[in-house]
Amino acid sequence: MSMARTNTDAAPARPTADALAARLREEVAGLLAVPSDAVHADRPLPELGLEPAQMTELVRAVSRWLRRPVPAWTVWQYPTPAALAAHLTGDDRAARAAAGRRAAGHTPIAIVGLGCRLPGGIGSADALWQHLLTGPATAADHRPTAAGCSTEGCSADGCPVRQGVLPDDPGGFDAELFPLPVAEALLMGPHQRLALQTAWAALEDARLVPETLAARRTGLFLGVTEPGSPATGADGGSPCPVPGWDDTTTAARFARALGLDGPALAVAAANASGLGAVHLAVRALRERTVDLALAGGVHAPAGPAADRRCDGPDPVRGAGGGVLVLRRLSDALATGDRVYAVIRGTAVHRAGARGQAAATGVRDRADVLRAAWQDAGISPRRVAYVEAVGSGTPPGDLTGAGALRAVFADGRAGAPRIGSTQGGHLRAAAGTVGLMKTALALYHGELPAVPLAGAGEGHDAAATERTPWPGDGCRYAGVGDDGSDGAPVHLALEEAPYRRRLFVPLAADSADGLRAAADALTGRARAGGAWYAPEHLGRAAGAHRVVATAGHPGDLSGALDTHLAARLQAPAARPDALAFCFSGPGSQWHGMGRDLLGEPVFRAAFDACDQALRPYTGWSVTEELLADRAGPRLGRTDVAQPLLFALQTALARTLGEWGAEPGVVFGQSVGEVAAAVFAGALPLDEGARLIAVWSRLVTERAAGDGALTVCELSVEEAESLPVVRAGRLSLAGHLAPGQVCLSGPREAVGTLERDLEGLGVRAVRVNIDHAAHSARLARLAPEFERRLGALRTRPTAVPFWSTATGGYAEGTDLGAAYWARSMCTPMRLAEATRALAGGRRLRVVEITPHPVVSHSLRRGLDAVGGDQPRILSTGRRGQGARQSLEDVAAALWCDGADVRWGAVTGRRRRSAAPLPVALTVSGRTARARAENAARLAARLDGTPDADLPDVAYTAARHRSHLEYRASVVAASSAEAAGALRALADGRTHRGLITGRAAAGPGLAVLFTGEGDRRPGAGRGLYGAFPEFRRALDEACAALDPYLPLPLAAVLFAAGDGPDAKLVHDPRFAQPGLFAVGVALFRLWRLWGVAPAAVAGRAAGEIAAAHAAGVLDLADAARLVAARGRLTRAREWSGATAAAVREFRQVAAECVFREPSIAWASTVTGGVAAAGTVADPEYWVRQACAAPRFTDALRALERAGAGRRLECRPAGVDEVRSLTRALGALHVAGQDIRWERVFAAGVPVDLPGHAFRRASCPRVAARTLPLSGS
């Protein structure tokens, strides 16, 4: 609960909303040191640039104006000046409307993919970053001087302007990769070829499969420069444009080649073309015209660079391009994309003809800068770096630099760093390259050394050397073009919402040992040795511990010194026990927890909660968490409580996976539901149903007319209050010694707050809309129980302390009656703290997006006495959830917990022996496939075997599957690399499967019969695949009632054990083959392998009937067990009559349904129908007569299922055999759900497509036979 005070009825006179909004704007402007007209009334305060401390200062100022306390949470629930003013003047309807009114222009846009092709062999984002760190500046390499070049006397051979600066093989083009007609490919100009290949690389970097773009609303916004060469008509007449040379057709051809379903626009604004295209893409995404955008710029001169005359020191014109993949940040977080940076604001401007004076240029440029950061809602004072994409000339650079100083140096102690790649010679691509550079710098937290022209003329902040990102707060940067020959454009960038820090856990037996360990690590880092391995450092023993955090390797020494000094000056007592406290409502805030969606464990847990809640809420907690605007829904009980339940559950599970193991859990108010789920007392789906029913009932029957306040009173003092004795208010909770909650009607609570304030007693209103835990809710208890019905409960795996009963509770006691009682009885938080901390030091972690009971818990621990540890919290309003959670993990490790640092830092290592995986590679041609295989083999060199599944996952899930395919089955990186090199060299390899995918026939799954018997069948699959294990357990459970022994005991019997021979007994052999076949079929279906038909021989036909939906599992199990007894009687005793009668009776009792897929019968030799197989005599014939298996296979082919897959364990290495079958299916063209095959897969970087840039000659532009006008 949010402990913030309010007393909205105490003000003697209320100003109007307009007057208060104007005063708020003035106060905010003063805090930000900006003019008041720069503060928009409808812009959220954090976006205007207010830090949390400034928000608190604003609350104090408003309280002074109004002469009454204003709750701290109001500036978060009503985040704009207009909304806050309406709320404070009593117009809650207008306040809620204003709070939810955010313009679409404020939607942040994520940069999720980067593709480039630049001079110097730069063909990827990583190559660009390495070049920026180690290579020279782009422009500085290729800038001729006036002394060495002149219009009159330059040398054609030696002049760098004439030679130009081009990417490797600028005329090459992989025409086979793109589905373009040959004639169209021949007509394409170099800029169009460059654009297509760069876009493909950008999509691969974004881990998007280009072929899937047709199913998305994808827009293309491409910056271009001057039109291509004209073509002369056949009669030598006036020039006519040729489509392949005309830049205006580039975007349209691009869109056709990639199958885009969205706008395709070419932007021509000289050097500003690329950034202008990004500006338009951002606008389209914000307006939801598109869901994905490709934006950037390319420049490839239509003719030789020598066609342009040299102008002394002007930059060289070259060729190159860059394309970015953009999407709304909420969508990027929802899909788990890698985010390089976030575009928060954009602006483009041309003030008209004002002359050519440099001062005028400064004014125009400054206007654009201010507009962009105003669009972002961020003060320019917070910007640490500006990328100035100049014209490449000293006058242009100085003009832009003057504008930068005018905007970014105003009102700040130090100017931001300024740098430039000086890519003016790339024209339309220049701004795109600068944007990519800046996004990479934000992503890596480092500024590369790039000299800026004119740096000596006042550029004391020029980024002339490589350095960590300046400052400790959120990273902001600007990118802009000076518009010297186009239009000024500026983009406001912010770092990605989740930033991984470097963690250095150190432990020793003494303080001196800790210092020695730190010195040794620092020395190793300075000497250039490998030093960052938190997963290994964290295994060190020792009572003296410290965890240093740094944002960049260069900060290691300082971080160690700082953390060591703090630790040694105030050594903390190590706690004896750990408790998780799940707090109640009021902690929600817009944006909470978003940055953790990129954490695999958190995401999996949150998605599971979303799936469990959706049937009861009718909406998605993921979508609510990612909502672009902070609307009034977050204040509704039926929205806030399910969302907090999901968030708390995911936070706790993440901490658990990171190694935090509480000895007890407890909850406050509705937080008890998440606590019960974490403790194991409630299954997740039951916890979801419980919180949904609870919140909906309160919303329907109690919301809006009640309130709750926290008072500095003892229980005795509270119970003696007249309003409590009279029953108008209820004691809702005992939070800490001398602190209680009182709830009831809003008017009565307000009166009490005023009375207590007059007595000097602090009262704090809680941010909820009903009288929680009051006698008023007791009338809802019967309805609550009725709606809940029976709750499935379980014994707890972690002890659960009940704040409703004041003691430990068994999981089986937490039925509907318990929760109905909890809803309307006081919360006993103080009693819980006293009991759990009695006689020991207790570390409490509040599981919450913002602390709401930490203060009360602290008071409770202080009352217990002893050296109690501080309270930890998993979140704080306005702070990244990842940072908060990591800080908790670090503190717990210092307490002595066994934190899994590999999981915390994303450097996980799989401990189990590696299993074979199917690694896929493809190409449009066999040669292209071979070249891609060679690249992938090089990537695997030195890759740990534990990382091979992630490489395979990325190749399968995030790369195109083209016609010529190969699958490599390997259990180690070396084995996979060897097979890939064999493919590249045209050699065979035992782990290699190659082929050409084809639509071809459908798939038929065949189930084997009695002849396939061996001890241990399915054991390897059982240990490797959870879905197989679950399915086999279900099949065994269905079969065991009809068998002399449990089937698993026979299937997995030791080879020399007494039960091993039973595998040849038909009573076990046939049920065993059935169970394994059914489990395999379930696994194939999970992996997306959907057959067109099924068939089986002997006992396998019953498995086929079950797979086709003809028999459910229970009837199929009874039937196959009876068939096993019948077969044993026929083979072993000859007494068949009784066995046949029994088998016929079982078949008669089964229920047969129409097949859901084609099922070929080995009795009739054709496709079976329910009417035929419902006859018991059918099954007697099936068991006793010779099968017509060949006829059944022909029937499958006639049904269109000519491709076959046998559903049986094969060979000693079952996992490798199954993986090989998976790879073979993929090569043949079968669709696979790779995200399910690699359920724990994490995307990693892979080499880009090996473009076969063979010479693709264009038709000569000047000799085309053209007709028409």
Query: If you classify domain 109-146+156-495 with CATH, what class do you get?
Result: alpha beta
- The DSSP code sequence of 384-423 is -EEEEE--SSHHHHHHHHHHHHHHHSTT-SSPPEEE----
- Spatial separation of the C-alpha atoms in residues 497 and 500, rounded to whole Å: 10
- Spatial separation of the C-alpha atoms in residues 1001 and 1019, rounded to whole Å: 32
Average confidence (pLDDT) over 534-563: 81
Kindly give the pairing relationship between strand 827-828 and strand 730-736: parallel
Domain 579-704+769-905 is classified in which CATH homologous superfamily?
A: Malonyl-Coenzyme A Acyl Carrier Protein, domain 2 (3.40.366.10)
Assign 656 a pLDDT band (cuts: 50, 70, 90).
Answer: very high
Architecture of domain 1003-1217: 3-Layer(aba) Sandwich (3.40)
Q: Do the domains at 17-102 and 1003-1217 have one common CATH topology?
A: no
Average confidence (pLDDT) over 942-946: 88
- Spatial separation of the C-alpha atoms in residues 416 and 426, rounded to whole Å: 26
Higher pLDDT, 1058 or 794: 794
- Spatial separation of the C-alpha atoms in residues 830 and 736, rounded to whole Å: 4
Among candidate residues 631, 628, 612, the one with its CA nearest the CA of residue 620? 612
pLDDT score for 317: 62
Among candidate residues 1062, 1018, 1002, 991, the one with its CA nearest the CA of residue 1208? 1018
- Spatial separation of the C-alpha atoms in residues 605 and 617, rounded to whole Å: 18
- Spatial separation of the C-alpha atoms in residues 980 and 931, rounded to whole Å: 10
Contact 395, 358 (CB under 8 A): yes
- Spatial separation of the C-alpha atoms in residues 363 and 370, rounded to whole Å: 11
pLDDT score for 458: 43
Angle at 296 between CA 392 and CA 272, to 5 degrees: 40
CA terminus-to-terminus distance, the chain? 76
pLDDT score for 7: 37
Most confident listed range (14-28, 65-79, 220-234, 327-341): 327-341
| Burial call 54-80: b when 16+ CB within 10 Å, e when fewer | bbeebbebbeeebebbbbbbbbbbbbb
Average confidence (pLDDT) over 506-524: 86
- Spatial separation of the C-alpha atoms in residues 876 and 240, rounded to whole Å: 64
- Spatial separation of the C-alpha atoms in residues 904 and 549, rounded to whole Å: 13
Most confident listed range (113-122, 283-292, 342-351): 283-292
Average confidence (pLDDT) over 446-456: 62
Q: What is the pLDDT of residues 838-848, one digit of tens each?
A: 888 899 999 99
- Spatial separation of the C-alpha atoms in residues 24 and 31, rounded to whole Å: 11
Q: What is the chain's Cα-based Rg?
A: 35
Map residue 612 onto helix, strand or coil: helix
Residues facing residue 116 across a β-bridge: 322
pLDDT score for 1084: 96
pLDDT score for 782: 94
Angle at 743 between CA 738 and CA 748, to 5 degrees: 110
pLDDT score for 78: 78
Instruction: Output the CA torsion 279→283→286→291 (10° steps).
Output: -80
Alpha helices in 227-307 (DSSP H): 250-258, 273-286
Assign 293 a pLDDT band (cuts: 50, 70, 90).
Answer: very high
Most confident listed range (340-354, 433-447, 1168-1182): 433-447
Assign 1011 a pLDDT band (cuts: 50, 70, 90).
Answer: low
Handedness of CA 549, 555, 556, 560 (dihedral sign): negative
Whole-angstrom CA distances from 1011 to 651, 1004, 1066, 1069 are 52, 20, 10, 9
Higher pLDDT, 523 or 607: 607
Average confidence (pLDDT) over 79-105: 66
Average confidence (pLDDT) over 336-359: 74
- The DSSP code sequence of 864-930 is H-S-PPPPEES--TTS-HHHHHHHHHHHHHHHT----HHHHHT-----SPPPPEEEEEEESSHHHHH
pLDDT score for 301: 67
Map residue 497 onto helix, strand or coil: coil
Give me the chain's average pLDDT, please.
82
- Spatial separation of the C-alpha atoms in residues 52 and 49, rounded to whole Å: 10
Which of 3.30.365.10, 2.30.30.100, 1.10.1200.10, 3.20.20.70 is the CATH number of 17-102? 1.10.1200.10
Instruction: Output the CA torsion 945→946→948→949 (10° steps).
Output: 150
- The DSSP code sequence of 348-370 is E-------S-HHHHHHHHHHHHH
Average confidence (pLDDT) over 332-357: 79
- The DSSP code sequence of 1203-1254 is EEEEES--SS-HHHHHHHHHHHHHHHT----HHHHTTT------PPP-----
pLDDT at 1254 over 60: no
- Spatial separation of the C-alpha atoms in residues 1106 and 1098, rounded to whole Å: 14
pLDDT at 614 over 50: yes
- Spatial separation of the C-alpha atoms in residues 448 and 584, rounded to whole Å: 47
pLDDT at 422 over 70: no
- Spatial separation of the C-alpha atoms in residues 297 and 323, rounded to whole Å: 6
pLDDT at 1071 over 90: yes
Cβ contacts of residue 963 below 8 Å, gap of 6+? 922, 923, 924, 996, 997
Assign 163 a pLDDT band (cuts: 50, 70, 90).
Answer: very low
Assign 1212 a pLDDT band (cuts: 50, 70, 90).
Answer: confident
pLDDT score for 936: 96
Assign 89 a pLDDT band (cuts: 50, 70, 90).
Answer: confident
- Spatial separation of the C-alpha atoms in residues 267 and 455, rounded to whole Å: 31
Most confident listed range (86-95, 101-110, 223-232, 1217-1226): 1217-1226
Higher pLDDT, 302 or 708: 708
Cβ contacts of residue 457 below 8 Å, gap of 6+? 398, 401
* Of the listed ranges 506-510, 955-959, 967-971, the one predicted with least confidence: 506-510
Q: What is the pLDDT of residues 8-17, one digit of tens each?
A: 344 345 578 8
Question: What percent of the chain lies above the pLDDT cut of 90?
Answer: 42
- Spatial separation of the C-alpha atoms in residues 969 and 921, rounded to whole Å: 12
Alpha helices in 234-357 (DSSP H): 250-258, 273-286, 329-335
Contact 1043, 1071 (CB under 8 A): yes
Tokens 């073009």 belong to which residue?
481
Map residue 749 onto helix, strand or coil: helix
pLDDT at 314 over 80: no
Predicted TM-score (pTM) of this structure:
0.82
Q: What is the pLDDT of residues 559-606, one digit of tens each?
A: 888 878 776 655 556 788 999 999 998 888 888 998 898 888 999 999
Angle at 1242 between CA 1241 and CA 1244, to 5 degrees: 125
Angle at 1174 between CA 1171 and CA 1175, to 5 degrees: 105
Handedness of CA 634, 639, 644, 647 (dihedral sign): negative
Handedness of CA 441, 447, 453, 455 (dihedral sign): positive
pLDDT score for 232: 40
Higher pLDDT, 546 or 306: 546
pLDDT at 1267 over 90: no
Contact 401, 420 (CB under 8 A): no
Average confidence (pLDDT) over 730-748: 93
Map residue 85 onto helix, strand or coil: helix
pLDDT score for 20: 86
Handedness of CA 1004, 1010, 1011, 1017 (dihedral sign): positive
Average confidence (pLDDT) over 223-252: 55
Assign 360 a pLDDT band (cuts: 50, 70, 90).
Answer: very low
Whole-angstrom CA distances from 1197 to 770, 1002, 1103, 1168, 1190 are 67, 9, 20, 14, 11
pLDDT at 459 over 70: no
Among candidate residues 226, 341, 337, the one with its CA nearest the CA of residue 282? 341
* Of the listed ranges 167-181, 300-314, 361-375, the one predicted with least confidence: 300-314
Cβ contacts of residue 1198 below 8 Å, gap of 6+? none
Map residue 1205 onto helix, strand or coil: strand
Domain ranges of the chain: 17-102, 109-146+156-495, 518-576, 579-704+769-905, 1003-1217
Higher pLDDT, 404 or 1050: 1050
Contact 588, 625 (CB under 8 A): no
- Spatial separation of the C-alpha atoms in residues 1005 and 1090, rounded to whole Å: 9
Q: What is the pLDDT of residues 847-906, one digit of tens each?
A: 999 999 999 999 999 998 877 888 999 999 888 899 999 999 999 988 888 899 888 888
Average confidence (pLDDT) over 507-521: 86
